[in-house]
Amino acid sequence: MALSSLLFSLLALVVALMALAITSEAGKIAIYWGQNANEGTLSDTCATGNYDYVNIAFLPTFGNGRTPMMDLSGHCDPYSQGCTGLSSDIEACQAKGIKVMLSIGGGAGSYSLSSNSDAKQVATYLWNNFLGGQSSSRPLGPAVLDGIDFDIEGGSNEYWGDLARTLKKHSSRGKSNKKVYITGAPQCPFPDAWLGNALKTGLFDFVWVQFYNNPPCQYTSGDISNLENAWKQWTSDIPAGKIFLGLPASSQAAGSGFIPANDLISKILSGILLHVIFANSRINNQTLKITAKMAGKLALSQALFLGSVILALLTRINAGDIAIYWGQNGMEGTLEETCATGDYDFVNIAFLPTFGNGQTPVINLAGHCDPYTNGCTGLSSDIKSCQAKGVKVLLSIGGGAGSYYLTSSEDARQVATYLWNNFLGGTSSSRPLGDAVLDGIDFDIEGGTNLHWDDLARYLSGYSKKGKKVYLAAAPQCPFPDAWVGGALKTGLFDYVWVQFYNNAPCQYSGDINNLENAWKQWTSDIPATKIFLGLPAAPAAAGSGFIPVADLTSKVLPAIKGSSKYGGVMLWSKYYDDQTGYSKSIKSHV
C-alpha cells in the first residue's frame, strides 16, 4: 500500500473514531447560550447536533428579597415577557435529547442568599417559573427545563447547598414528573470559593469546572501538570455524577486558558479521559473537530499517535465496574481478601435483615462473625483496607429472608438515624462494624411492604450535607417497576441500581437476549439513577435461573447494553460463588 493510501486510511479511521468518541454517551459537550445576540437562536444551536447540554445564561438577579430577573443579552426582552417564545425552542432541543438548564448567577450580577429560608424561596421561584411547577408569569413560557446550573462567581458562599437540596426534592414531582438536574460551574482552584461547600453535598449531577482565567490550574504553554493535578483533585474529592473540563472555545472567549485543538486531543484528553464544555457557542466549530484540512496536515506519526490515543479512549470510555455481595457464606474469605483481589469496585456487606417497626436492628453475616457479642467490630480494619484501595463498601439492608419493613415516615427517619450513627458518619457506643465509616447503604428490599423506602432514602441522602457523601444503592428485581422499591427509585436519589436479572424469567437471559435487552432499556430510560448495573449470579448454583455463560455475556449481552449513558457495570451474587467459577476475573476486561 502506498504511503499516501496508508495515511488516508489511517486518517479515515482516526476521523471515524473521533466521531464515535465525541458522540458516545460517555463523552458529551455542554454549551452556554444566551449572552450574545449574534450566536443564533436556541433552536439553531440545538439543531447543529454538536451539544448534549445547553445552559441558558443567565438569571443574574435573585435572592435576598430581590425580584428575579433574566438577562439574555439581546435575544429577547424579559421585562415585557418577550422571552416566552423560547418555549418552543426549548422543547425542540429536548425533543433531540438535549438537556436544557437555566444558569443562575454569572460573572456579573446581583445575587446572594441570606438564609436557609431565602434559599427555599428562591428554589420555589425556580420550580414554579422554570421547572415543573406553575406560575402565571413564566419568563420562558410553559416549557419545563431539565434543571438549574449554579454559575456562582460572587455574592457569598452561604446557603447554596440549601438551594441545591430544596431543588432536588422537587425531582419526580409536578405534572412533568421529571428529575431536576443540578449542575455547577466552579473555578478550578480547589475548593471553589463560592460553591465549595455546596458541591460536597453529592447532589450535583454535572460539574463543569472552569479551567480558564485561572493560571494556577489551567493549561499553559504546553505544560499539562497544573491542569492535570487540579483535575485529579476535583475528580477524587467531589461526589458529583460527572466532572467536565470547562474551556473557552476560542482564544478571545477568555483572558487565558484556551487550549489549541491539537494539544487538547494529543495531550489532555489522552491523560484525563474527560468530557468537554465550551464557553461560547458561536465559535465552537473551531475546536475539537478533525476537519479535512487539519487531517491533510497531519504527519503519519501524528495520525498513528492520535489513532492510538482515541483507541485508548474508546477502550475505556464505556468501562464499567463490578459490584459484589459479601457476607453470606463463611467460606468466601475475609472482606480484606475480597478487596485485595482487585476484581471489585463495590462491596455490599450482606445483610442487616432485621430493622424497622420498633425492632432492634441486627446484622447477620452468616458465620463470619457474631454480632451478638460485638464480634464483628474487627471488620473495621478490613473496611478501611478496602476503602484505601478505592473500593466503596456499603451495608446492604433487607435481603431475601429477614424481618423488616417501615410503618411510617417517622419510622423511616428513626431507621436512617440508626444507620447514620452505627454504620455511617455518626457516633454510637455500639457500632456493629467498629469505627469504620461505610460509604453508603444498599436497599435489597424483597419483602415487607413497599411503603416509606423513599422516605428512608431522603433521610439518608440528607446526611450527605454533614461531610462525606452517603451513597445510595438498590437491588430491585428486573420486572418493571420493582414491587418493593419502585416508588423509592423515582426520587432520583439513588447513585447505583444493580437490577437483578435472574430468578425472573420474563426479563432475564435465556439464550435469547430480547427479554433482557427490552427490560434493560426500560430501566435505563425510566429510572433517574446515576448508574444502572446488570445484576447476575456468579455461578449456575447461585440462583434458580438467569446465569449467563461468560462467552454469551461478553459477545452478546454486554455489547447490547453498554451503549447506554447509565451503564455502570455488572453486579454479582455473590463472593462465595464467584470464588467457585472465577466469573469476575473472566469478564473484568469486557465490563
Render pLDDT for 299-310 as a digit per residue (tens, 0 to 9).
444 444 444 444
Is the predicted pLDDT of residue 461 greater than 60, yes or no? yes
C-alpha–C-alpha distance, residues 31 and 50, integer Å: 9
Question: Model confidence at 311, in pLDDT bands (50, 70, 90)?
Answer: very low
Give pLDDT, residue 451: 97
**Poorest-pLDDT segment among 2-6, 47-51, 474-478:** 2-6
Prior bond to 87 cis, omega within 30? no
Average pLDDT, integer, range 64-93: 93
Encode pLDDT of 472-502 as tens digits: 999 999 999 999 999 999 999 999 999 999 9
Q: How many CB atoms lie within 10 A of CB 23?
A: 13
Average pLDDT, integer, range 57-80: 93
Domain boundaries, the chain: 30-278, 321-588
Equal fold, 30-278 vs 321-588: yes
Q: Percentage of residues in the chain with pLDDT exceeding 90?
A: 74
Give pLDDT, residue 584: 98
Q: How far is CA 499 from CA 443, 473, 571, in A?
A: 11, 10, 8
Answer for the pair 184, 238: CB distance below 8 angstroms, yes or no.
no
Give pLDDT, residue 306: 43
Encode pLDDT of 544-591 as tens digits: 999 999 999 999 999 999 988 899 999 999 999 999 999 999 999 999
Residue showing cell 451539544? 51
Q: How many CB atoms lie within 10 A of CB 435?
A: 12
Average pLDDT, integer, range 19-37: 72
Question: Model confidence at 379, in pLDDT bands (50, 70, 90)?
Answer: very high
C-alpha–C-alpha distance, residues 539 and 549, integer Å: 9
Which residue from 98, 67, 78, 97 is spatially nearest to 34, judged by alpha carbons? 78
Residue showing cell 424497622? 356
Is the predicted pLDDT of residue 184 greater than 60, yes or no? yes
Question: Model confidence at 222, in pLDDT bands (50, 70, 90)?
Answer: confident
Give pLDDT, residue 559: 93
Answer for the pair 352, 361: CB distance below 8 angstroms, yes or no.
yes
Residue showing cell 479511521? 13
CATH 3.40.50.1980 is the classification of domain 30-278: no
C-alpha–C-alpha distance, residues 210 and 202, integer Å: 19
Answer for the pair 530, 471: CB distance below 8 angstroms, yes or no.
no
C-alpha–C-alpha distance, residues 195 and 187, integer Å: 9
Q: What string of H, E and C letters represents the secondary structure of 326-340?
A: ECCCCCCCCHHHHHH
The fold of 321-588 is TIM Barrel (3.20.20)
| Residue 572 or 268, more confident | 572
Question: Model confidence at 503, in pLDDT bands (50, 70, 90)?
Answer: very high
Give pLDDT, residue 272: 67
Is the predicted pLDDT of residue 269 greater than 50, yes or no? yes
Answer for the pair 521, 487: CB distance below 8 angstroms, yes or no.
no
Q: What is the DSSP letter of 464?
A: G
Which active-site residues does the annotation give? 446
**Poorest-pLDDT segment among 109-113, 209-213, 317-321, 422-426:** 317-321
Report the SS3 class of residue 378. coil
Average pLDDT, integer, range 533-538: 98
Those residues whose C-beta lies under 8 Å from the C-beta of residue 414, and which sit 6 or more positions away, are none
Give pLDDT, residue 286: 31
Give pLDDT, residue 241: 85
Is the predicted pLDDT of residue 176 greater than 60, yes or no? no
Contacts 24+ apart (CB under 8 A), 227-233: 227/188, 227/268, 228/268, 228/271, 228/272, 230/188, 230/189, 230/190, 231/272, 231/274, 233/190
Q: Percentage of residues in the chain with pLDDT exceeding 70?
A: 86
Give pLDDT, residue 27: 73
Is the predicted pLDDT of residue 332 greater than 80, yes or no? yes
Average pLDDT, integer, range 369-378: 93
Is the predicted pLDDT of residue 469 greater than 60, yes or no? yes
Is the predicted pLDDT of residue 462 greater than 60, yes or no? yes
Is the predicted pLDDT of residue 262 greater than 90, yes or no? no
Question: Model confidence at 25, in pLDDT bands (50, 70, 90)?
Answer: very low
List strand residue ranges (DSSP E) for 493-540, in order. Answer: 496-500, 531-537
Assigned C-alpha cell, 419: 444507620
Give pLDDT, residue 177: 64
Give pLDDT, residue 309: 44
Average pLDDT, integer, range 213-227: 90
Give pLDDT, residue 173: 65
Q: How far is CA 505 from CA 152, 518, 548, 571, in A?
A: 50, 13, 13, 18
C-alpha–C-alpha distance, residues 456 and 573, integer Å: 25
pTM assigned to the model: 0.56
Give pLDDT, residue 277: 53
Helix, strand counts (H, E) of the chain? 21, 20
Question: Model confidence at 297, in pLDDT bands (50, 70, 90)?
Answer: very low
C-alpha–C-alpha distance, residues 443 and 303, integer Å: 49
Burial of 584 (0-12, 13-18, 19+ CB in 10 A): buried
Q: How far is CA 145 from CA 3, 5, 27, 173, 339, in A?
A: 52, 49, 22, 13, 42
C-alpha–C-alpha distance, residues 324 and 542, integer Å: 13
Single-letter residue type at 326: W
Distance of CA 162 to the CA centre of its chain: 20
Answer for the pair 215, 256: CB distance below 8 angstroms, yes or no.
yes
Question: Model confidence at 94, in pLDDT bands (50, 70, 90)?
Answer: very high
Average pLDDT, integer, range 359-386: 95
**Poorest-pLDDT segment among 17-31, 250-264, 443-457:** 17-31
Is the predicted pLDDT of residue 353 greater than 90, yes or no? yes
